[in-house]
Structure 1
Amino acid sequence: MELTSSHQRRVVAAAIGAASVLLAWFAHEPSVLLVAVTAVCICVGWKAGLAAVAAASLLSAFILWSPAYAAENSPVKLAAFVAGALGLWLVVKIFRTISFYDRLYQGAGPSITDIPGLGWSAYPDGRLRFLNSAALQYVGVTTEEMREITDADDFSWWRRFVHPDDVETSMVQLRHSLETGEPMIAERRLRRFDGTYRWFRDMGVAVRDERGRIVGWYGHTEDIDDRRKAEAALRQSERELRLLVDTVPTMIWLMTPAGLPYYFNKRFVDWAGIDSAREEPRGTRQFASHVELFHPDDRTAVKAVFQKSFARGESLQHKGRLCRKDGEYRWIDSRFEPLRDEDGTILRWYGVNFDIDDEVRARESLRLTDERLARALRLASLSELSVSIAHELNQPLQAVVANAGAFQRWLNADPPNFNHAIRVAQKIIRNADAAAQVISRIRALFSKTEGESRAIDLNAVIHEVCDLLGDRLASSSVKLDLHLDPSLPATAADHVQMEQVVLNLMRNGIEAMQDVSINVRCLRIVSRHQNDGTVEVEVRDHGRGLRNPERIFEAFYTTKPDGMGMGLAICRSIIEAHSGRLWAENLDTGGAAITFSLPIRAAAQTSTHTTGTVSA
Structure 2
Amino acid sequence: MIGMAAGLDAPAWLFFLVSVTAASRTGIARDIWISAGGAAIFATLLTLASPSALPMAERLAGLAFAIIAIGFAGFTLVSLRTLLGELEESRNELRTFTDSVPYLIWRGTPEGGVDFLNRRYTDLTGHDHDVAIAQKTWRQCIHEDDLPEYWSRRSYALETGTEFRAVFRLLHANGEYRWMSLIGRPVRAPGSDAVIRWYGGISDAHEEVLAQQKVAELMAVLENRVEERTEALAKSQERFSILWEISNITFAEQDFSEAVVILDRLKAEGVSDLASYFAQHPEVLRACIAAVRTVGVNPATARLMGFESLDEMLERPVATTAEDIELIMVKQLELCFYGRNDTEGNAVLIGKDGLRVPVFYSVHRLPDEHQLSSLVDLTLQQRAEEMRLAAQEQLARANRAATLGAFSVSLAHELNQPIGSMMIDAGIALRLTQGGEPAAQNLPRILERVSRTAERISGIVGRIRESISGRERAATQVDLCRLAQETAELLRRDVQQAQTTLDIDCSRGSALVSADRVDLQQVLVNLILNAAEAMADHEGERRVRVSITPSSEGIRVSVTDTGQGIPTNLLEKVFDPFFTTKAEGIGMGLLICSNAVARFGGVLQARNRPEGGAEFFFTLPPAEAESAAA
Query: Structure 2 length as normaliser, TM-score?
Result: 0.31
Larger radius of gyration: 1
The structure that is helix-richer by fraction is 2
The TM-score normalised by the length of structure 1 is 0.32
